[in-house]
Amino acid sequence: MFVGHYGVSFAAKRIAPTIPLWALFIAVQLLDVIWAPLVLAGIEKVRIVPGITASNPLDLYYMPYTHSLLAALLWSGGALVVYRLLAAQDIVGRAGCVLALAVFSHWVLDLVVHRPDLPLYDNTAKVGLGLWNLPSVAFALEAALLFGGMWLYLGVARTPARPMLVFGLVMLASQACVFFGPPPVSDTAAALTALASYAAFATVVARLERPARATRRGAF
């Protein structure tokens, strides 16, 4: 899954408004944000196999440190610990748990779309429901999650709705390129593109949220 993960960010923001949206954007993609440099370093492995699923050509055959269930639980716990260390004492309660759940949501949503390439632990007992083999359904799910979460967020946010909706459409367009465009030229290109997308999306959402946060007293 790609932009659908951000639906969780927006929904989480409604539950825990003290967490900046950019941090929630990083949280829901944290497993991939760590996956990309591990691929670049040759520690986790992916190869491009056009047709391996109907919409995604990545053969993610070795990623025990980021996308096993055990690793996802550990990274979620790690995010909670880091948040508690960094955040002000008066806002750690529910917000820290929301952040940790946002990190873990990545694995749950990946489970829906991936072929059975998600290990439960190490590189074994792999699971995945394979929705990538139904591109139209998978794309609709990404859109529904993204805009469903955004709708929850915009219901309470002071952020202007229109720029955020335009941003959502841009994200969805990039999803369409991934699904229906040419495959990446290499594993390195796939990792770099993913990392650049996550950084760009988090930067833009921080910019979009800033006017609203500037007017709210006591924000994170």
Task: Name the residues that contact Zn ion, by CB under 5 A.
Answer: 32, 110
Q: Which is nearer to Zn ion, 32 or 44 (CB)?
A: 32
Contact assessment for residue 63 and residue 45, using Cβ atoms and an 8 Å cutoff: yes
Q: How far is the CB of 31 from Zn ion (least distance, A)?
A: 5
Q: Which is nearer to Zn ion, 32 or 187 (CB)?
A: 32
Q: How far is the CB of 87 from Zn ion (least distance, A)?
A: 25
Q: Which is nearer to Zn ion, 110 or 209 (CB)?
A: 110
Q: How far is the CB of 194 from Zn ion (least distance, A)?
A: 9
**Would you tell me how many other CB atoms lie within 10 Å of the CB of residue 105?**
23
**Whole-number Å distance between alpha carbons of 188 and 185:** 8
Q: How far is the CB of 115 from Zn ion (least distance, A)?
A: 13
Q: Which is nearer to Zn ion, 29 or 159 (CB)?
A: 29
**Whole-number Å distance between alpha carbons of 36 and 25:** 16
Q: Which is nearer to Zn ion, 66 or 159 (CB)?
A: 66
By CB atoms closer than 10 A (0-12, 13-18, 19+), residue 185 is: exposed
**Would you tell me how many other CB atoms lie within 10 Å of the CB of residue 47?**
14
**Whole-number Å distance between alpha carbons of 54 and 45:** 20
Contact assessment for residue 88 and residue 74, using Cβ atoms and an 8 Å cutoff: no
Q: Which is nearer to Zn ion, 110 or 142 (CB)?
A: 110
Q: How far is the CB of 53 from Zn ion (least distance, A)?
A: 14
H helix runs in the chain, sequence order? 5-15, 21-28, 30-40, 69-86, 93-113, 135-154, 161-180, 187-214
Q: How far is the CB of 29 from Zn ion (least distance, A)?
A: 8
